[in-house]
């Protein structure tokens, strides 16, 4: 069973507009969440993270929102740029001593059109 | 600062053979994790090593194994290869635990024929 799900396999957005990528999880033990971006032929690159003690974290154009009661997180990119076109993965880990054992969603391919 | 280096980039093996993949982490990083990426299953955690000890293990058969050396470099081995082992194998390093994000290499693309 998938504990982390990204239900939209793809998303197309106009340059300058907001991109919203969504992620749902089922494991209530998850308490740390991350977003990674992946270009073809490259490994994933860390974007932003959020701990379950927060409900929002911002870093430049990227903001992650966490709704613990709904077990839902989202990544907002404002404004979207063509260089943001990539596959975005959300990931979660479930306890402090879990080290780097992350559970990933299936990814959402974002296309930002000029 | 050099990134995570994985070798080789591409590998073709035959069913039943075994394979060893190598990963050199970023200097100063003591944690090395391995992930398998396939179109059907996405990114799945294989195992993590920290200071030469396996700290976590994913839900993969015993044919998948790994180790970490004193210089933090890591290898993973897959024995008795199956067609379903064809995947992109990604190595990632970080300084310590989850408070420091993973830095991924570009992966080794393994094809089993």
pLDDT tier for residue A96 given thresholds of 50, 70 and 90: low
Q: A105 and B94: CB-CB below 8 Å?
A: no
Mutate to test the interface with A, among B88, B95, B98 (most CBs of A within 10 A): B98
Residues B53-105: tens digit of each pLDDT: 998 899 999 999 999 999 999 999 999 999 999 999 999 999 876 667 899 99
Mutate to test the interface with B, among A43, A51, A106, A109 (most CBs of B within 10 A): A43
What pLDDT shows up at residue B42? 84
Residues A23-63: tens digit of each pLDDT: 999 999 899 999 999 998 899 999 999 999 999 999 999 99
pLDDT tier for residue B1 given thresholds of 50, 70 and 90: low
Q: B101 and A99: CB-CB below 8 Å?
A: no
B38-63: average pLDDT: 91
Q: A100 and B107: CB-CB below 8 Å?
A: no
What pLDDT shows up at residue B62? 95
What whole-number percentage of chain B has pLDDT above 90?
85
Which among A43, A97, A103 is the nearest to B104, CB-wise?
A43
Which among A49, A99, A104 is the nearest to B97, CB-wise?
A99
Q: For residue A97, is pLDDT > 70?
A: no
Query: Could you give the C-alpha distances from A80 to A77, A114, B21, in angstroms and in order?
Result: 6, 10, 37
Query: Could you give the C-alpha distances from B38 to A88, A107, B62, B91, B103, in angstroms and in order?
Result: 15, 12, 19, 14, 19
What pLDDT shows up at residue B101? 85
A1 touches chain B (CB under 8 A): no
What pLDDT shows up at residue A108? 96
What secondary structure, in 3-state letters, does A22-68 show?
Answer: EEEECCCCCCEEEEEEECCCCCCEEEEEEECCCCEEEECCEEEEEEC
What pLDDT shows up at residue B39? 83
What whole-number percentage of chain B has pLDDT above 70?
96
Residues B23-36: tens digit of each pLDDT: 999 999 999 999 99
In this structure, the number of other CB atoms found within 10 A of the CB of residue B66 comes to: 22
Two tokens, residue B83? 């067609």
A65-78: average pLDDT: 97
What whole-number percentage of chain A has pLDDT above 90?
84
How far is Cα A69 from Cα A32, in angstroms, rounded to an integer? 15
Chain A residues with CB inside 8 Å of B48's CB? Answer: 99-101
How far is Cα A9 from Cα A11, in angstroms, rounded to an integer? 7
Q: For residue B50, is pLDDT > 80?
A: yes
The burial class, CB within 10 Å (0-12 / 13-18 / 19+), for A111 is middle
């Amino acid at each position: 069973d998938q504990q982390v799900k990204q239900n939209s396999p793809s998303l197309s957005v106009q340059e300058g507009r907001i991109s919203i990528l969504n992620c749902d999880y089922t494991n209530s033990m998850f308490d740390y969440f991350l977003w990674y971006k992946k270009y073809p032929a490259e490994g994933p690159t860390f974007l932003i993270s959020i701990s379950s003690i927060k409900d929002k974290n911002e870093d430049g154009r990227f903001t992650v929102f966490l709704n613990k009661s709904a077990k839902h997180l989202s990544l907002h990119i404002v404004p979207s740029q063509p260089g943001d076109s990539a596959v975005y993965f959300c990931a979660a880990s479930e306890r402090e001593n879990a080290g780097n054992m992350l559970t990933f969603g299936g990814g959402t391919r974002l296309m930002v059109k000029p | 600062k050099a990134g995570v280096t994985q070798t080789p980039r591409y590998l073709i093996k035959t069913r039943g053979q075994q394979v060893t993949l190598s990963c050199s982490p970023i200097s100063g990083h003591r944690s090395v994790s391995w992930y398998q990426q396939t179109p059907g299953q996405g990114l799945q955690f294989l195992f993590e090593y920290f200071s030469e000890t396996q700290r976590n293990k994913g839900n993969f058969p015993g044919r998948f194994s790994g180790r970490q050396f004193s210089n933090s470099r890591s290898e993973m081995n897959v024995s008795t290869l199956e067609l379903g082992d064809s995947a992109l194998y990604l190595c990632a390093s970080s300084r310590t635990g989850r408070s420091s994000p993973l830095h991924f290499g570009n992966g080794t693309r393994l094809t089993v024929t």
